[in-house]
């Protein structure tokens, strides 16, 4: 009996246009040619749709260029930008351990006084001739058009360094300390040689260098906490064409190797960087120097000794290979912790 009544009810419903009513009820268009609108299904009031911490913050390793707002060294637009890279002078490096009266060296009784050597915690000269350390991170690289006529040099230059009291170019090893302005995580680095009048991969170009890093740890000096990031060697291509190509492109080194999927990995955060030059492409020719007089300080090399009639009694022979260093640019890639 119930089945019979149900069948009669369905039949009457269909005769009265129930198809259209049913279509509207389930959200389908009554006109099959019209565009279908999907029903708006309300969310479950008990469901929390707030993104998780991992969804809100992207922790995926990146390989972005680390910005250094350094194109205006005298102040101005970027003077107070925390991303501004700056040179860490010896006085800033040693802080309270530096002799502020002479501005030449650490305090004599400082426990760090013995570290004030070119092989340790001491900068090479900040400015010499056309070279300035600030040019090492100004975003400008040298090329074949770099010359004195154009006045477009962009490199650091260690200049003359005395060794055993003998004047010459005994730069290596040398260091420069740089403040990146904030902590960054590093994936790779690119360094560019200086043009050197076309004499690239030569006597003035650094072949082997180290990178050291220091986190942003509060202290009145920056003498502790340095960690070796890595030692890197610039390879010289076999032919001149490849040499020029790599010179212009820059020499790329992974600080942290990529994973199996090619995703760059990142170092721990560092704010301060030490660039330490270990070896040039060519060693200078060994020269014999004669210290002519302790009182006058005159010096003569072996090839000029014939100009002196008699060898002074206090003459001292010192052998050394003169060399100096110029490099144009350093660029870091990785992940920047700075937020606008």
Helix (H), strand (E), coil (C) string for the chain: CHHHHHHHHHHHHHHCCHHHHHHHHHCCCCCCCCCCCCCCCCCCCCCCCCCCHHHHCCCCCCCEECCCCCCCCCCCCCCCCCCCCEECCHHHHHHHHECCCCCCCECCCCCCHHHCCCCCCCCCCCEECCEEHHHHHCCCCCCCCCCCCCCCCCCEECCCECECCECCEECCCEEEEEEEEEEEEEEEEEEEECCHHHCCCCCCCEEEEEEEEECCCCCCCCCCCCEEEEEEECCCCCCHHHHHHHHHHCEEEECCCCCCCCCCCCCCCEEEEEEEEEEECCCCCCEEEEECCCCCCCEEEHHHHHHCCCCCCCCEEEEECCECCEEEEEEEEEEECCCC
Q: Could you tell me the pLDDT band of residue 337, with boundaries at 50, 70 and 90?
A: confident
C-alpha–C-alpha distance, residues 208 and 74, integer Å: 32
Task: Determine contact, residues 191/327, Cβ cutoff 8 Å.
Answer: yes
CATH code: domain of residue 250 = 2.60.120.260
C-alpha–C-alpha distance, residues 28 and 47, integer Å: 27
- Residue 46, pLDDT above cutoff 50: no
Q: Could you tell me the pLDDT band of residue 26, with boundaries at 50, 70 and 90?
A: very low
Q: What's residue 203's pLDDT?
A: 79
C-alpha–C-alpha distance, residues 300 and 314, integer Å: 13
C-alpha–C-alpha distance, residues 255 and 265, integer Å: 9
- The listed range with the strongest mean pLDDT (138-142, 157-161, 322-326) is 138-142
| pTM above threshold 0.75 | no
Q: What's residue 50's pLDDT?
A: 45
Mean pLDDT in residue range 70-86: 68
Peptide bond into 335 cis (omega under 30): no
Least confident of 239-243, 255-259, 288-292, 325-329: 288-292
Question: Would you say residue 230 lies in a domain?
Answer: yes
**What is the percent of the chain where pLDDT is above 70?**
63
Q: Could you tell me the pLDDT band of residue 324, with boundaries at 50, 70 and 90?
A: confident
- Residue 83, pLDDT above cutoff 90: no
Q: Could you tell me the pLDDT band of residue 133, with boundaries at 50, 70 and 90?
A: very high
Task: Determine contact, residues 102/116, Cβ cutoff 8 Å.
Answer: no
- Residue 302, pLDDT above cutoff 50: no
Q: Which residue has the higher pLDDT, 193 or 295?
A: 193
Q: Could you tell me the pLDDT band of residue 147, with boundaries at 50, 70 and 90?
A: confident
Q: What's residue 37's pLDDT?
A: 40
Burial class (CB in 10 A: 0-12, 13-18, 19+), 264: buried
- Residue 317: CB atoms within 10 A of its CB come to 9
- Residue 96, pLDDT above cutoff 70: yes
The number of domains in the chain is: 1
Contacts 24+ apart (CB under 8 A), 301-308: none
Least confident of 36-45, 99-108, 288-297: 36-45
Q: Could you tell me the pLDDT band of residue 53, with boundaries at 50, 70 and 90?
A: very low
**What is the percent of the chain where pLDDT is above 90?**
46
Mean pLDDT in residue range 205-230: 95
Question: Would you say residue 290 lies in a domain?
Answer: no
Question: Would you say residue 179 lies in a domain?
Answer: yes
Question: Would you say residue 236 lies in a domain?
Answer: yes
Residue 327 CB contacts under 8 Å (≥ 6 apart), including other chains: 136, 155, 156, 191, 192, 193, 194, 205, 206, 277
Question: Would you say residue 202 lies in a domain?
Answer: yes
Residue with tokens 């190797």: 257
C-alpha–C-alpha distance, residues 166 and 68, integer Å: 38
Q: What's residue 333's pLDDT?
A: 93
Mean pLDDT in residue range 273-286: 82
Q: Which domain holds residue 83?
A: 68-88+123-285+321-336
Q: What is the mean pLDDT of the chain?
A: 76
Q: What's residue 149's pLDDT?
A: 75
Q: Could you tell me the pLDDT band of residue 148, with boundaries at 50, 70 and 90?
A: confident
- Residue 6, pLDDT above cutoff 60: no
- Residue 54, pLDDT above cutoff 50: no
- Residue 32, pLDDT above cutoff 50: no
- The listed range with the strongest mean pLDDT (2-6, 62-66, 261-265, 321-325) is 261-265
Please report how many Cα atoms fall inside a 13 Å half-sphere around the Cα of residue 198, on the Cβ side.
4
Q: What's residue 64's pLDDT?
A: 85
């Amino acid at each position: 009996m119930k089945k019979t009544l149900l069948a009669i009810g369905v039949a009457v419903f269909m005769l009265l246009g129930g198809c259209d009513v049913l279509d509207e009820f389930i959200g389908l268009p009554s006109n099959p040619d019209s565009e279908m609108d999907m029903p708006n299904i309300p969310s479950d009031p008990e469901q929390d749709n707030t993104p998780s911490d991992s969804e809100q913050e992207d922790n995926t390793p990146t390989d972005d260029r680390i910005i250094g707002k350094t194109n205006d060294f005298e102040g101005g637009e970027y003077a107070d930008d925390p991303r501004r890279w700056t040179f860490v002078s010896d006085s800033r490096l040693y802080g309270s351990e530096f002799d502020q009266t002479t501005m030449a060296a650490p305090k004599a009784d400082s426990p760090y006084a013995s570290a004030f050597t070119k092989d340790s915690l001491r900068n090479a000269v900040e400015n010499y001739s056309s070279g300035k350390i600030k040019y090492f991170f100004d975003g400008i690289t040298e090329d074949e058009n770099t010359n004195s006529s154009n006045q477009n040099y962009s490199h650091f230059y260690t200049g003359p360094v005395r060794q055993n009291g003998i004047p010459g170019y005994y730069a290596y090893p040398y260091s420069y300390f740089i403040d990146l302005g904030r902590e960054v995580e590093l994936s790779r680095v690119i360094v560019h040689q200086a043009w050197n009048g076309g004499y690239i991969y030569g006597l003035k170009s650094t072949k082997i260098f180290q990178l050291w890093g220091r986190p942003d740890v509060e202290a009145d000096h920056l003498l502790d906490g340095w960690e070796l990031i890595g030692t890197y060697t610039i390879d010289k291509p076999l032919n001149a064409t490849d040499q020029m190509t790599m010179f212009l492109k820059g020499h790329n080194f992974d600080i942290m190797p990529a994973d199996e999927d090619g995703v760059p990995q990142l170092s721990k955060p560092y704010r301060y960087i030490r660039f330490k030059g270990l070896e040039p492409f060519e060693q200078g020719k060994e020269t014999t120097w004669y210290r002519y007089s302790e009182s006058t300080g005159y010096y003569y090399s072996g090839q000029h000794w014939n100009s002196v009639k008699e060898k002074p009694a206090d003459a001292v022979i010192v052998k050394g290979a003169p060399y100096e260093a110029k490099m144009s640019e350093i660029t870091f890639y990785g992940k920047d912790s700075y937020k606008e």
